[in-house]
């Protein structure tokens, strides 16, 4: 979260699609595809944090990896500032890589166990051609200080650190290239709650000091509420609702969002015990055989027959608040939640 006024978007994702072909079969014919991301659009203003929430398998990580150009997108556009990073290939892509970096969930898995951590940060700079070799040691010291590590800790190996300290090292390494965008996929999910708060506060401070923009993925609603300026809720490869943090947490409209919030009232003590808990029946359908209408209709407590006919579009029901549900009505008082069950 930041006090910076929204400006032109740094990241602009338009109609992003990632369909994974289903391999082989007996005669090596393609047997359809997994529609992991199926037409996702959002913008992230510079210096702000955009959150993506949703159940396991909704396509959050695949969206992040596609933005990072680490999985192949099968459709859509990705722009970083004025650059079309979705189309860039080879050297053109390599020359942009320093501008967007990723922080993964498990800091241990993303560090080489046999490399001293100071060298790991220096390697990242060499790889992305940041500064001259002579400048790099001083820069590593600066980065270690910025993430709250001591200079002598540069000489240690990853196993000599705690999980929280390792995530600090990963942050230092991601920042080595002076990126504009940090894509963070569950960056604190592997850490103890007390340590989570320290890392989140560090990330907020770094954002303020360096003007960073975050794409922040988490299934923890409390964390998302703490960190994000704007939030999208994904369900089976699409965004079903998107709004600024306050609107989304205080006035969720999509039945899926309402159900998700009601299933986790503990993320906000004020919410505890308020409202009825809505249980979702069953699991999400397979992303290979998607239902024809609204993807959520089969589990939705408010579904009516028309919901299974065609997929509703993502519609702006009030300024900046987008919902993909045909049952939302907009009155003079604004958009009205769907009466459920």
Judged by beta carbon, residue 116 or residue 219, the one nearer ligand ATP is 219
Over its C-alpha atoms, the chain yields an Rg (Å, rounded) of 21
CA distance 51 to 39: 17
Burial 50-60 (b: 16+ CB within 10 A, else e): bbbbbbebbbb
> Is the CB of residue 58 less than 8 Å from the CB of residue 237?
yes
By the rule CB under 6 A, 157 interacts with ligand ATP = no
Residue among 59, 158, 179, 293 that touches ligand ATP (CB under 6 A)? 59
Secondary structure element (H or E) that encloses residue 296, with its range = none
Give one DSSP letter per residue of 116-156, joined into a string. -HHHHHHHHHHHTT-S-TTTHHHHHHHHHHHTT--GGGGGS
Judged by beta carbon, residue 42 or residue 161, the one nearer ligand ATP is 42
Q: How far is the CB of 57 from ligand ATP (least distance, A)?
A: 4
By the rule CB under 6 A, 295 interacts with ligand ATP = no
157's contact among Mg ion, ligand ATP, none, with CB below 5 to 8 A by partner kind, is none
Binding segment for ligand ATP (CB under 6 A), chosen from 49-57, 143-151, 196-204, 318-326, is: 49-57
Q: Using CB atoms within 10 Å of the CB of residue 241, give its burial: 0 to 12 exposed, 13 to 18 middle, 19+ buried.
A: buried
Provide φ and ψ at 150, rounded to 5°.
Answer: -90, 150
Judged by beta carbon, residue 61 or residue 262, the one nearer ligand ATP is 61
Binding mask 172-211 for ligand ATP (x = CB under 6 A): ----------------------------------------
20's contact among Mg ion, ligand ATP, none, with CB below 5 to 8 A by partner kind, is ligand ATP
Q: How far is the CB of 51 from ligand ATP (least distance, A)?
A: 13
CA distance 110 to 125: 16
- Mention every residue, 6+ apart, whose C-beta is less than 8 A from residue 319: none
Residue among 60, 230, 295, 324 that touches ligand ATP (CB under 6 A)? 60
Residue among 12, 77, 141, 219 that touches ligand ATP (CB under 6 A)? 219
Q: What is the token pair recorded at 211?
A: 């003007």
Report the interface residues with ligand ATP, using CB under 6 A: 20, 34, 36, 54, 56-62, 219, 287
């Amino acid at each position: 979260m930041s006090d910076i006024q929204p400006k032109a978007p740094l990241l602009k994702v338009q109609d992003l699609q990632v369909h994974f072909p289903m391999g082989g079969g007996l005669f090596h014919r393609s047997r359809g595809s997994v529609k992991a991301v199926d037409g996702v659009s959002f913008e992230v203003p510079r210096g702000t944090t955009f959150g993506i929430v949703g159940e396991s398998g909704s396509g959050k990580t695949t969206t992040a990896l596609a933005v990072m150009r680490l999985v192949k997108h099968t459709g859509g556009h990705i722009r970083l500032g004025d650059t079309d990073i979705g189309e860039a290939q080879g050297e053109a892509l390599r020359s942009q890589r320093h501008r967007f970096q990723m922080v993964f969930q498990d800091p241990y898995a993303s560090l080489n166990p046999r490399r001293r951590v100071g060298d790991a940060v220096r390697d990242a700079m060499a790889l992305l051609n940041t500064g001259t070799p002579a400048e790099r040691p001083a820069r590593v010291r600066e980065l270690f200080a910025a993430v709250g590590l001591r200079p002598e800790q540069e000489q240690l190996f990853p196993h000599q650190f705690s999980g929280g300290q390792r995530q600090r090292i990963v942050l230092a390494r991601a920042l080595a290239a002076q990126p504009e965008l940090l894509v963070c996929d569950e960056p604190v999910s592997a850490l103890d709650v007390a340590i989570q708060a320290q890392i989140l506060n560090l990330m907020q401070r770094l954002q303020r000091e360096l003007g960073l923009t975050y794409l922040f993925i988490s299934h923890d609603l409390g964390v998302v509420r703490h960190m994000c300026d704007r939030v999208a809720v994904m369900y089976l490869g699409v965004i079903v609702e998107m709004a600024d943090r306050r609107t989304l947490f205080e006035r969720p409209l999509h039945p899926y969002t309402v159900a998700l919030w009601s299933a986790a009232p503990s993320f906000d003590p004020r919410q505890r015990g308020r409202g009825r808990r809505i249980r979702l029946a069953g699991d999400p359908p397979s992303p290979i055989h998607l239902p024809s209408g609204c993807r959520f209709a089969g589990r939705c407590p408010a579904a009516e027959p028309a919901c299974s006919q065609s997929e509703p579009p993502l519609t702006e029901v009030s300024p900046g608040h987008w919902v993909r549900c045909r049952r939302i009505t907009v009155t003079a008082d604004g958009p009205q939640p769907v009466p459920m069950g």
